């Protein structure tokens, strides 16, 4: 066995034993062994061929030890009858999530036939004015469920099943689970027409393959679909991120980025001198992939990071779990993503990040540099077809500690693994365990007025501190007139969108409490304004009309209930959340032509109610 293998085994043993220790001990120990790691790394590279590519040679990096999971390659057919071109792929970074499926282009049109990708039965029909809009789930006998989103219409038999449920529940937005006998489908059966419903930003088909039992979603491109891609991923930039309060990068304590230059396997970073690092640093990479014949960018499949020839980080977009998917915010550099939505992948794992996409992590991808040496780094990124790009660059360690900045004043120390609480006479906050991704020195500050705000805006921690779940925030209601306390909501201001939204809230013992899933700027407002209803195509006389529409909206707390009635009986109206369009389609089995009384009631989350009434003829 050569020295390289022996050392690698020792290192693995060291890492495994470290992983078994509690976190605090791990950190303490790693400060010491990291010298060891660096030395091992140096030895490894001096005792083995240089990992850098030379002409005609294979890349001599540690082999990618991850095996491709084996999924059936010929069970599913293309759910459309045009070639698959993607406007989005699996694992792309999106707001608060990794994209859990593929977005198949539909020639910028709606109404393309959508086919069952395999035999099975309709196991779920979910209708909403937001999210996936009209969505359909088909469960197949081989343990997988396919999901079709943003549909325009369902096939006649599915539509009739759905309408019965909607009329039974007297609701537009329903989530129903037919039994296997109710709606069986054959492979290639037309089950729907493609559309643009829900949160869709243009006509396309959102398609997912899930493991039926776990509901984890899998990369559909592992199932043998014909998607052409022989273009290597592009790499825009490399980031260096301080991982502790004592880290210094080029003499400062801020993230630093370097543009990537070159192409393919021979990329580098644009700089005249290697970045100089003291302390714990994380690396990040802005990278995306292009597919043949498409001008848009998609997400990356695999990222690996090597330091002095040793892999310290790997990630792969094979499978995602909806319960952890929001941790995308901990995976990217959250502030950067919030500002420009770039496909920026961190290559370090924050302690409370529960994502299951990582492999080959050494010290969670965090590397410590304290020696006076240059170190070789390599990022290797890969698309699902195996096209690769590589960036090689150097960083220089320094033993010179920077002068520590004055400690920030904090009001409480919040531990990501524990339930945390803080309260004073203006604010009460309660953040459950596993809601933060890392420990937080908690503080809040007053930040002046907000239009319509009843108190001075409070900056609670930071809008750039992501949270995984809802937490409880209560603001003192003493500035809210007593008679309006039941109409008060907590509002949040997003500085990047320059937008204020309601977080809801209820009055309790002189406090207004809400459950936001963001930190940042908060205030209190009163909502006494009823929703608005504007007829768009509705008229008193519209003989032969096949539909009529209204535009509905609410000023602050949002629409809670929509109750449309004809002659006193509930009727189905379809809501498009994007435009606020509410439409009633003539349904000859449930409606009659002629003269009727129409009544539409809208109630917002603070109980403000608007009623629109009119006689009409159609
Ligand atoms: Zn999608």
Indicate the pLDDT class of residue 18, thresholds 50, 70 and 90: very low
Indicate the pLDDT class of residue 404, thresholds 50, 70 and 90: confident
Q: If you measure from the C-alpha of residue 104 to the centroid of ligand 1, how many angstroms do you get, rounded to a whole number?
A: 8
pLDDT, average across residues 514-527: 98
Q: If you measure from the C-alpha of residue 316 to the centroid of ligand 1, how many angstroms do you get, rounded to a whole number?
A: 19
pLDDT at residue 427 is higher than 80: yes
Instruction: Tell me the C-alpha to C-alpha distance, in Å, between residue 24 and each of 21, 28, 139, 205.
Output: 8, 6, 45, 47
pTM to 2 decimals? 0.88
Mean pLDDT for all residues in the chain: 90
Q: If you measure from the C-alpha of residue 129 to the centroid of ligand 1, how many angstroms do you get, rounded to a whole number?
A: 15
Q: If you measure from the C-alpha of residue 353 to the centroid of ligand 1, how many angstroms do you get, rounded to a whole number?
A: 23
Indicate the pLDDT class of residue 68, thresholds 50, 70 and 90: low
| Token duo for residue 463 | 């809008």
Position 239 scores a pLDDT of 98
Strands 374-382 and 268-269, sheet pairing: unpaired
Distance CA 515, CA 470 (A): 6
Position 616 scores a pLDDT of 98
Q: What digits encode the pLDDT tens for the residues 337-368?
A: 999 999 999 999 999 999 999 999 999 999 99
Distance CA 70, CA 26 (A): 35
Residue with tokens 């207004």, as numbered in its chain = 512
Q: What digits encode the pLDDT tens for the residues 98-141?
A: 999 999 999 999 999 999 999 999 999 999 999 999 999 999 99
Q: If you measure from the C-alpha of residue 167 to the centroid of ligand 1, how many angstroms do you get, rounded to a whole number?
A: 29
Position 49 scores a pLDDT of 34
Q: If you measure from the C-alpha of residue 88 to the centroid of ligand 1, how many angstroms do you get, rounded to a whole number?
A: 7
pLDDT, average across residues 470-477: 98
Position 13 scores a pLDDT of 39
List domains and CATH numbers for the chain: 86-223 (2.70.70.10), 229-397 (2.70.50), 412-526 (2.60.220.30), 532-617 (2.60.40.1220)
Q: If you measure from the C-alpha of residue 296 to the centroid of ligand 1, how many angstroms do you get, rounded to a whole number?
A: 14
584: burial class by Cβ within 10 Å (0-12, 13-18, 19+)? buried
Range name among 25-39, 456-470, 559-573 with the lowest pLDDT average: 25-39
């Amino acid at each position: 066995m050569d020295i390289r293998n022996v050392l690698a085994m020792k290192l693995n043993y060291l890492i495994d034993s470290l992983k078994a220790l509690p976190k605090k001990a791990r950190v303490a120990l790693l400060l010491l062994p990291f010298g060891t790691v660096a030395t091992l790394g140096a030895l490894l590279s001096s005792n083995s061929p240089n990992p850098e590519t030379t002409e005609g040679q294979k890349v001599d990096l540690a082999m990618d030890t991850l095996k491709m999971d084996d999924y059936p390659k010929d069970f599913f057919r293309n759910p459309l009858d045009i070639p698959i071109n993607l406007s989005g792929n699996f694992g792309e970074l999106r707001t608060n999530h990794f994209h859990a499926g593929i977005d198949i282009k539909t020639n910028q049109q709606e109404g393309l036939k959508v086919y069952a990708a395999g035999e099975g039965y309709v196991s779920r029909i979910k209708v909403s004015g937001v999210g996936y809009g009209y969505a359909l789930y088909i469960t197949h006998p081989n343990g997988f469920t396919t999901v079709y989103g943003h549909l325009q219409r369902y096939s006649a038999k599915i539509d009739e099943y759905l309408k019965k449920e909607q009329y039974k529940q007297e609701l537009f937005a329903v989530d129903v689970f037919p039994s296997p006998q109710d709606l069986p489908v054959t492979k290639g059966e037309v089950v729907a027409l493609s559309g643009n419903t829900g949160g869709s930003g243009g006509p396309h088909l959102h398609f997912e393959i899930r493991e039926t039992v776990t509901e984890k979603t899998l990369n559909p491109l592992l199932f043998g679909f014909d998607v052409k891609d022989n273009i290597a991923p592009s790499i825009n930039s490399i980031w260096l991120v301080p991982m502790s309060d004592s880290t210094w990068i080029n003499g400062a304590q801020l993230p630093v980025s370097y543009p990537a230059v070159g192409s393919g396997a021979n990329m580098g970073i644009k700089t005249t001198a290697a970045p100089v690092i003291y302390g714990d640093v994380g690396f990040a990479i802005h990278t995306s992939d292009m597919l043949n014949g498409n001008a848009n960018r998609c997400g990356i499949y695999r990222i690996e990071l090597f330091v002095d020839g040793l892999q310290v980080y790997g990630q792969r977009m094979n499978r995602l779990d909806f319960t952890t998917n929001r941790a995308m915010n901990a995976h990217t550099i959250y502030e950067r993503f919030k500002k420009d939505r770039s496909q920026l992948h961190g290559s370090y794992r924050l302690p409370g990040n529960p994502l299951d996409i990582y492999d080959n992590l050494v010290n969670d991808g965090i590397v410590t540099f304290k020696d006076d040496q240059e170190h070789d780094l390599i990022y290797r990124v890969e698309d699902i077809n195996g096209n690769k790009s590589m960036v090689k660059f150097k960083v220089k360690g320094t033993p010179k500690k920077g002068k520590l900045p004055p400690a920030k004043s904090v009001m409480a120390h919040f531990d990501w693994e524990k339930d945390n609480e803080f309260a004073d006479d203006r604010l009460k906050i309660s953040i459950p365990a596993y809601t933060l991704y890392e420990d937080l020195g908690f503080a809040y500050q007053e930040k002046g007025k907000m239009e319509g705000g009843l108190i001075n805006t409070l900056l609670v921690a930071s809008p750039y501190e992501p949270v995984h779940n809802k937490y409880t925030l209560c603001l003192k209601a003493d500035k809210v007139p007593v008679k309006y306390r039941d109409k008060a909501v907590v509002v949040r201001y997003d500085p990047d969108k320059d937008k204020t939204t309601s977080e809801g809230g209820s009055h309790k013992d002189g406090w207004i409490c809400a459950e936001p899933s963001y930190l940042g700027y908060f205030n209190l407002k009163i909502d006494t304004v009823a929703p608005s209803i504007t007829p768009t195509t509705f008229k008193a006389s519209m003989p032969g009309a096949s539909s009529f529409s209204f535009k509905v909206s609410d000023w602050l707390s949002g629409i809670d209930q929509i109750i449309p009635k004809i002659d006193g009986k509930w009727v189905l109206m379809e809501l498009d959340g994007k435009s606020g369009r509410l439409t009633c389609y003539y349904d000859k089995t449930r409606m009659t032509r002629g003269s009727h009384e129409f009544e539409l009631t809208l109630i917002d989350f603070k109980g403000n109610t608007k009623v629109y009434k009119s006689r009409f003829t159609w």
